[in-house]
Amino acid sequence: MSTVIVQSGRSTDPGLRRVWWLPLLRGVVLLALGLLMVFHPLETLTAVAWTIGVFAVVDGVLLVLQALVERPPGATGWQVLVGLVVVGLGVLVMAWPHPTVLVLFYVVTAWILVVGIVGVVAAVVLRRQDDDSAFPALAVGLVNLAIGLLLAFNPQQSLAVGMVLFGVFALVAGVLLVVSAFAVRSWSRRVVLD
């Protein structure tokens, strides 16, 4: 059972003050991964798989650790399960790097192509009904088709660009986690026991 401290209409869990560094650690890992991917996009499938696999294992372990330390009521078991699944996926990706990355790459490519085709068909149907949303549907459909075809016909170049985009995502997520960790730490220091 956790005690909630309330002062001036604000509340905090004392466990929050002890674990502020876990999101900070996750943010630092994401920042390192993001910098690596942005400045040195990995172009071999093995390196991509290992990078993602190692990140998944580290992130999953940190999720489990965070769940065990925070012990949120009713959610601890689920958070531990999510962390263990992420660790398992990371190990799977590292154990079979080529097949895993290729399968995921082509599944995502097929998904983007299907979304593009559905968008174009929806635009035709909407246009026949004199619906003004036909143009946006057509635009989204054509953009998805173009991206899907680019991915399908240039997998190596697409992979390098994808790594840079994932690196940018990792950088943004890392910065947000680091900032939020320090914000939680600062906020929890201001809330004192009555």
Residues 72, 23: contact at Cβ < 8 Å?
no
Residues 101, 166: contact at Cβ < 8 Å?
no
pLDDT at residue 175, as a whole number:
93
pLDDT by position in tens, the chain (length 194): 344 444 444 555 566 667 778 888 989 988 988 888 888 776 555 777 888 889 899 999 998 998 888 887 777 888 899 999 999 999 998 888 878 877 878 888 898 899 899 989 988 988 898 877 788 889 989 998 998 898 888 887 777 787 788 788 889 999 998 998 888 888 777 765 44
Please state whether the predicted TM-score (pTM) of the whole model is above 0.85. no
Q: How far apart are CA 57 and CA 85, in angstroms?
A: 9
Structure tokens at 127: 């246009």
Domain layout of the chain by residue ranges = 12-190
Nearest alpha-carbon partner for 116 in 155, 136, 146: 146
